[in-house]
Amino acid sequence: MFRATLIVSCLLALAGCRKEAGSTTKPAAGSALKINGSTTVNLVAAEAAEILRAEKGMNIQIDTQGGSAGGISAIGDGLVQIGMISKHLTDDDKKKHPKTNFKTIQIGEDAVALIVSKDVWDGGVKSLTKQQAKDIYQGKVTNWKQVGGPDQRIAFFNKEPGRGTWEVFAHWVYGSPKKAPSVSFPEVGGNEETRNKVASTKGALSQLSSSWADQKTVFALSLIGDDGSTVEATEASIASGKYPMSRPLSLITNGEPTGDAKVFVDFVLSERGQALLPKHGYLKMSQLKH
């Protein structure tokens, strides 16, 4: 009797082990919807996630590790269901993950600005040409007095290569990020870090999402085009495509979004979701004219 009971117990234990082992082949029910990427898109995504958590009880985890490049890699490596990018998805991005079926869903539009600290702005620098930006980036211009500003060393904080903000800047100045030379400036990551660095440093300059330029602690410069016209990063110039460093804000998935990922994407594209973009200084899809 004891022997029979022992055999039955062992068989039941073995069956339980097999069931437990088999359960690891599928994600657990109710597992988190994981999102990663651009700190620019994150402002909208985080607020959308907060609403969906409250109204639908969704489990959503959002990170901004690595910015746009991090979002692309996370999708390519199967680590998240949604990536956030604040730049165009390029063929080179896709080539790094040939087995991934990238689906790009634009949710709005933003612009990249060249921002300066208050002392530079008050010293008279209100705009830069593409050539002046290139000369500063390449170290040929090192003092603001060389471009009509105060006698102050230029403290350039470069966005980390791979960040959407940096790629948009490099595309404007050089025609392609591939053509941008390697530089040795101090690097900054997310938008908040960039704004804080520029605001607290005399003679500072960096690239930043235009919506983060508060015109109190950091100031967005106008850009002078090749034809001599000056363009500010206004809603109208971004919407029309006239501003040269405008950029799409997008969510990316591996194939068509399904399940919770689809619920999230559909909400951001809905009227309620689109209303979140202007709150953070971005253009919603219905405002675009180009």
> To which H or E segment does residue 75 belong?
helix 67-76
Mean pLDDT by 10 residues, the chain (290 residues): 41 37 35 95 97 97 94 97 96 95 97 97 97 97 98 96 91 94 94 96 97 95 92 92 94 98 98 97 91
Domains contained in the chain, CATH given: 33-109+247-287 (3.40.190.10), 111-240 (3.40.190.10)
Q: Which pLDDT tens digit goes with each residue over 157-198? A: 999 887 899 999 999 999 999 999 999 999 999 899 999 999
The pLDDT score that the predictor gives to residue 77 is 97
pLDDT for the residue numbered 227: 87
Alpha carbon of residue 89 to chain centroid: 12
Spatial separation of the C-alpha atoms in residues 212 and 193, rounded to whole Å: 11
CB–CB of 42/138 below 8 Å? no
pLDDT at 30: 55
- Please give, one letter per residue, the 3-state secondary structure of 130-184: HHHHHHHHCCCCCEHHHHCCCCCECEEEEECECEHHHHHHHHHHHCCHHHCCCCC
List, in sequence order, every beta strand (DSSP E) within 38-123: 60-63, 82-85, 102-117
Pairing, β 127-129 against β 155-159: unpaired
**Which is nearest to 52 in space by CA: 41, 61, 39?**
61
* Separation of alpha carbons 32 and 267, rounded Å: 17
Residue 116 amino acid letter:
V
